[in-house]
A and B are shown apart, each in its own frame.
Chain A
Amino acid sequence: MMADISPSTSTDADTEDKNRYQLQQLGAVASDGSDRPKDQKTLRRLAQNREAARKSRLRKKAYVQQLESSRMKLTQLEQELQRARQQGIFISGSGDQSQSMSGNGALAFDVEYARWLEEQNRRVNELRGAVNSHAGDAELRIIVDGILAHYDDIFRIKGDAAKADVFHILSGMWKTPAERCFLWLGGFRSSELLKLLINQLEPLTEQQLLAINNLQQSSQQAEDALSQGMEALQQSLAETLAGSLGPSGSSGNVANYMGQMAMAMGKLGTLEGFIRQADNLRQQTLQQMHRILTTRQSARALLAITDYFSRLRALSSLWLARPRE
């Protein structure tokens, strides 16, 4: 009944070992070497186990192969992105802004913002080093001016991005979660920033203190005014859309609907203007602050602002990594 599965050229001892091994494989002999015969049910079970194990091994192999090919693809994509960057597809300030943004406005902006942030951190670290090593005013002024000019860059980049995709900027999705908590018209509130600086900047002269307080008040007033305009916009948009509701069916109402939609589209178009004014406010506030303060004070202010935002971003990371049930 046993098939002769051993090669005819082997010795008797070899043959017997081979037979035993093969019988073990078939499950007819227990692997501890005893010759206990198995009944049909056991044999079937053992065969099924082997089959399951074999399938499992094949699945694992397929999975690993998939991982390997995904890894290669990822490396390829990273290289392409690097190449694209070098070719200037996402670079700001080159040629036609709208062309480079329109295909993928949100993504392109996120990439630019990440790069801006990196550069900003580099500059601020340079400033920190200069302050800690008691550098002179002249050197500090160069670095501070550079940082302020760098802020101008991001406002310009945001402006272009808002033209391409205003809702992406408004959403704040390009910022970390904790920063988004404080989002106002697509960015930070200058008035809040000044509030936290006032304590950090002592000693201030009477004149400086007054000027900073006035600046804080002015920026707050401008923020409130812009907020009111936004509310008016929301209300107007809601009324326009509600106005297009009505008894359905007649062709007059289709024309009405189209008209209302066109009006609503026009209103959405004004959102970009609000972002522009909000960013202009941020920019002007930073520059006025710099005018009021001495170089050294401006340096400390910029360090404080950067530290604050760094903490917000760190908080976001902690939040995202928190253990969950």
Chain B
Amino acid sequence: MDKIRELASKSAVVIFTKSSCCMCHSIKALFYELGASPSIHELDQDSRGNEMAVALRILGCNPCVPAIFIGGQFVGSAKDVISLHVDGSLKEMLINAKAIWL
């Protein structure tokens, strides 16, 4: 969990993924489209990947990837991010975290 928090605080947008996960690919594409430059951490490339996966699930992320953090805060899974984008909140969060500018 510490490693998650640590990594999450390093960038405005942090996404935990797995290299084989195609939904992660979708969410990455969405953030790129919005002009954000998310930091990507692939759990399967990390020696402590399994622990981190468990920690993400404890945070409530199901499935554990993609797990999105904005401004160091856990935002949710793919479904959460898409819902937030549809109601306009996502852009606001990104602006507040200085991940994008209007």
Chain A residues packing against B (C-beta within 8 Å) = 211, 214-215, 218-219, 221-222, 224-226, 228-230, 232-233, 236, 266-267, 270, 273-274, 276-277, 280-281, 284-285, 288, 291
Contacts and interface: CB of A to CB of B under 8 A. Distances in A.
Contacts of A232: 22, 25-26
Contact of A221 (B20, B24, B33, B63): B33
B27 interface: yes
Given A229-B26, A232-B22, A277-B23, A288 B87 contact: yes
Contacts of B87: 284, 288, 291
B30 interface: yes
Interface string B71-95: 0000000110011011110000000
B34 interface: yes
Given A230-B22, A236-B22, A273-B23, A225 B86 contact: no
Contacts of A280: 79, 82-83
Contacts of B82: 222, 277, 280-281, 284
Given A230-B22, A236-B22, A270-B23, A225 B33 contact: yes
B29 interface: yes
A276 B80 CA distance: 12
B95 to A, nearest CB: 14
Contacts of B86: 215, 218-219, 222, 281, 284-285, 288
Interface in B25-54: 25-27, 29-30, 33-34
Nearest to B90: A218
Interface of B: 20-27, 29-30, 33-34, 63, 78-79, 82-83, 85-88
A76 to B, nearest CB: 46
B92 to A, nearest CB: 11
Contact of B34 (A219, A221, A233, A274): A221
Contacts of B33: 221, 224-225
Contacts of A215: 86, 88
A307 B70 CA distance: 41
6 contacts: A215-B88, A219-B86, A228-B29, A236-B22, A267-B20, A285-B86
A226 B30 CA distance: 8
Given A221-B33, A277-B82, A288-B86, 14 more contacts: A218-B85, A218-B86, A219-B86, A222-B85, A225-B26, A229-B27, A229-B29, A232-B22, A270-B23, A274-B22, A276-B79, A277-B26, A277-B78, A280-B83
A274 B23 contact: yes
Contacts of A276: 79
A267 B79 CA distance: 19
Contact of B30 (A221, A266, A291): A221
Contact of A214 (B22, B63, B83, B88): B88
A238 to B, nearest CB: 13
A244 B7 CA distance: 37
Contacts of B83: 280, 284
Nearest to A230: B22
From B23, B30, B63, residue with most partner A Cβ within 10 Å: B23
Given A221-B30, A277-B78, A228 B85 contact: no
A41 B29 CA distance: 88
Contacts of B20: 236, 266-267
Contacts of B88: 211, 214-215, 218, 288
Contacts of A230: 22, 26
A214 to B, nearest CB: 6
Contacts of B30: 221-222, 225
Contacts of A218: 85-86, 88
B45 to A, nearest CB: 16
